[in-house]
Amino acid sequence: MRFGAHLPVAGFGGERPSPSTLIECAEAAEALGYTTLCANDHLLFAVPWTDALVALGAAAARTRSISLMTTAALLVVRGPAPLGSALVALHHLSGGRLRVGLTPGSTMADYEAVGIPFEERWSRFDADISAIRSYLDRAAPSSSVPLWVASWGSEAGLRRVARHGDGWLASAYHATAEHFSKSMAYLTAELERLGKPADAFPNAIATTYMHLTDDAAQAQSILGMLVSPHQAPSDLRDRSLVGTTDECVQKIRKLQDAGAQQIFVWPIGDEVNQLRRFAEEVFPNFA
């Protein structure tokens, strides 16, 4: 099992994390041995939000070896050419460290912001992913930028992952270990049907909220800060790494047994110290 780290782009406490916190998280994640720095993408959200592509650009300037990833970029909302241009720049400025997760998005506010009907998101996504591949091939012919497709694990979504993607980006707050295992089985069958080697097809679980604490009241307070348009706080308890180290290790082991290869943790509160504590207390269990 490998671990990446989300940049703190969301102001779950009511205010955006400071620029220094974002940069300190990026530098700490690289120093501590996390594999990837990633950022979720929204134009509008229920809490203050720092643009994902800008945040990754800032992180690229202050790191040297850690991979960067969009988790996942709003392809339909941003448009294949504007998004492609930004991704080419990120890939170039980071020295070729970028992997791209793509999604149609699941939040109506993002679509309202650009005047695109929300119900058209999937049909547009299927067309736009071909368009962005063509754009990247023209704009960066000497560089290979992997394009992963995000899916919560529906059969239709996993068929798109198999058909269009170079990897599968799953969502922690939409999947239990049992659901992930069933989704992996379906995805493997689809890849084999398409003649793609399933054992060479990578996956990662993103948006894994994390806060290690032995204080049950503090854990409940952290969960209460989180905002999801799709899950209640009680569901997020089961689908996050908020709690004691032992509890979190057990959850990760179940996901590993289900076939998860990477988990991207999103530290909530005291972000740099949480990244350090997670590396010191959790990493050794999966060496």
Please measure the distance between the N-terminal and C-terminal CA atoms of the chain and give it in whole angstroms.
8
Hey, where are the domains in the chain? 2-286
Asked if 76 and 104 count as a contact pair (C-beta separation under 8 A), the reply is: yes
Asked if 5 and 282 count as a contact pair (C-beta separation under 8 A), the reply is: no
Per-residue pLDDT of the chain (287 residues; tens, 9 = 90+): 999 999 999 998 888 889 999 999 999 999 999 999 999 999 999 899 999 999 999 999 999 999 999 999 999 999 999 999 999 999 999 999 999 999 999 999 999 999 999 999 999 999 999 999 999 999 888 788 999 999 999 999 999 999 999 999 999 988 899 999 999 999 999 999 999 999 999 999 999 999 999 999 999 888 888 866 555 656 788 889 999 999 999 999 999 999 999 999 999 999 999 999 999 999 999 98
pTM here is 0.96
What pLDDT, on the 0 to 100 scale, is given for residue 238?
Answer: 85
Question: Token pair for residue 54?
Answer: 């800008």
Identify the CATH class of 2-286: alpha beta
- Supply the angle between the helices 80-93 and 121-139 in degrees, to the nearest 10: 40
- CA distance linking residue 191 with residue 160, whole number of Å: 10
